[in-house]
Chain A
């Protein structure tokens, strides 16, 4: 089974990425070195994608059911976001962060060996399953990235060298992430209608997904109306991310959890 190979794959990826990060650090001294860093990041990412594909084939179902499997998808999407923003806006620190975050997700999976379950309950066997989950995971990864930008903004603010460009990066990420969040929410509604006959039932996971959506909605409108109040905007962004985190893992620990159809199984 492929999860058995995971330690091997993740070690290879880990080594490539750590080397990449070291090169990236050197590139602050000597710009051309960044090419090697990118090459290393890309090869690590490629190995990761090979693993995901093999796992999908081996499991015979989309690997999107368990927490470990979703972490694998974050680890896949974060570098993508890092690469895209790097090629577009040339933020090295952001590339480093997204690679480090992806590495962290892989490390968590390495430390918590994953399930081998191949079964998938009937309601999940739908053409909506893959788009719904992928769009969501992508959006979470982008929004998580926007929060990292917010943290950087706060730090800069504290040090007194805040640059409005940081907030603009956050805006771009929020717009992309929010668009995908909306799609995830709506695909979920359309799917629920097909599977259960109702598109919205205020299931706890749905409630928190809705709250996450509202959180970023506040950010978007606040930014539009108050372009120069950057500190408040950063605060809203941070709070929205807290709600997202509750939605992502917190729901399982709330008193409402046992009524949800969405809690990720542990086996």
Chain B
């Protein structure tokens, strides 16, 4: 037994470096990073933009290549291409991301969090250093397997190179990412957008909003506690969509919807279909109390920015209310006007962006207070020149995952 033990015993920093050394180096990187974070001002996030990011990327890959090709016998490179170095960097990246998953990434009152930069992990020196080691491991190991290409390495290369490409180009690409938002009002052209830092940016084309359209679901029916004002039925879970002719049961009340109008106005003690700015939905309901067979008939309405809501008090404790309708779909019918005099018409909708002159144009938002009467549409323009590279990485990883699923694991097969 002592002989066995003797064999596995080895001194720290003796060949080859294992987990202890790996974590030692990893923690060293973290401590260095946190020191930098404390003593070197880093208010501006680390970003480099064109052409420096391309130079950086190409240079990095060439250096990795040279390191692997001519220095792979050195201690450091051998260590970086072995699993312990990878695992320690994966563990430490995980640790830092876990901090991000616990501490909100917003300005903080705690000095400790501020000084160590724990509320902006993605631009934290410690994170950048450890990610750098992570990527270096990943890059070297990818080069290793590419150089000793075998078909059985196919899945390995898809996964590791794909991840490398997606991560590196995602990080370097942020310097070239342009994200603008623009407010477009019905009936007037707009071409001044704002960027993330609230600077005004003049676009090479203008937007003209012909029409902004919202489709809504029917409102829902709910039972509200008169004292607290909160939804009372079944822990607030069961809300029914208002549909003509339906009968719903709330505790000992039987609520029947006799008539439903999506856009109604009150005239006297009744609602009638009208189509005005701000006319809310309304419904005529009959409520029967099954305990004492009493019956109430009334109109309720969810109200709007212009008209008050109307509920029905059905007992000392409860009232029946109609909620504000939820949005089903919103879209902007726009024309894009170029300086050359072109006019391109399109409809923008959530999940259906439009590509134009290197930008992707998204339907972002509208005037939420006005709801379906909004004549403002907020659009977002994104220019992301690195996207093709990121997509190559992502699709390699998708292929790699399918390969992994298909072939299964090698450990068991051996």
Residues on A close to B: CB < 8 A?
113-123, 125-126, 168, 171-172, 174-176, 178-180, 182-183, 186, 189-190, 194-200, 202, 204, 207-208, 210-211, 214-215, 217-218, 220-225, 227, 251, 254-256, 259, 266-267
Contact = CB atoms under 8 A, between A and B. Distances in A.
Given A211-B101, A227-B411, A116 B394 contact: no
B397 interface: yes
Nearest to A224: B411
A183 B410 CA distance: 20
B355 to A, nearest CB: 12
B238 A254 contact: no
Interface residues of B, number: 58
A77 B345 CA distance: 45
17 contacts: A119-B328, A121-B326, A122-B329, A122-B351, A123-B351, A176-B405, A186-B398, A190-B394, A194-B352, A207-B101, A217-B90, A221-B87, A255-B103, A255-B104, A266-B236, A266-B237, A267-B238
Given A116-B239, A224-B410, A225-B84, 15 more contacts: A113-B234, A119-B241, A120-B328, A125-B351, A172-B408, A172-B409, A175-B409, A176-B408, A182-B397, A183-B402, A199-B170, A221-B87, A223-B411, A224-B411, A255-B103
B409 A171 contact: yes
Contacts of A174: 409
Interface of B: 83-84, 86-87, 90-91, 93-94, 97-98, 100-105, 122, 170, 179, 217, 220, 234-241, 326-330, 349-353, 360, 362, 380, 382, 390, 394, 397-398, 400-402, 404-405, 408-412, 414
B328 A122 contact: yes
A88 B86 CA distance: 33
B97 A117 contact: no
A115 B241 CA distance: 12
A198 B384 CA distance: 9
Nearest to A1: B240
A202 to B, nearest CB: 6
Given A211-B98, A218-B94, A115 B411 contact: no
A195 B402 contact: no
B97 A224 contact: no
A217 B91 CA distance: 10
A118 B217 contact: yes
Contacts of A120: 328
B350 A171 contact: no
A256 B104 contact: yes
Classify the interface of chain A: helix, strand, loop or mixed: helix
Contacts, number: 149
Given A122-B351, A189-B394, A175 B405 contact: yes
B124 to A, nearest CB: 12
A215 B94 contact: yes
A207 B321 CA distance: 39
A118 B236 contact: no
A242 B239 CA distance: 34
Given A116-B238, A186-B394, A202-B100, A214 B329 contact: no
Nearest to A174: B409
Contacts of B330: 122
A122 B220 CA distance: 18
Contacts of A198: 179, 382
B103 A256 contact: yes
Contact of A178 (B101, B122, B362, B404): B404
- In the A-B complex, the 9 residue pairs with the closest CB atoms: A179-B405, A225-B83, A207-B101, A182-B401, A122-B350, A197-B382, A126-B351, A179-B401, A214-B94
A166 to B, nearest CB: 12
Given A115-B237, A119-B326, A186-B394, A259 B104 contact: yes
Contacts of A197: 179, 353, 360, 362, 380, 382
A218 B92 CA distance: 11
Most chain A CB atoms below 10 A, which of B84, B87, B351, B380? B351
Given A171-B411, A215-B94, A221-B90, A207 B238 contact: no
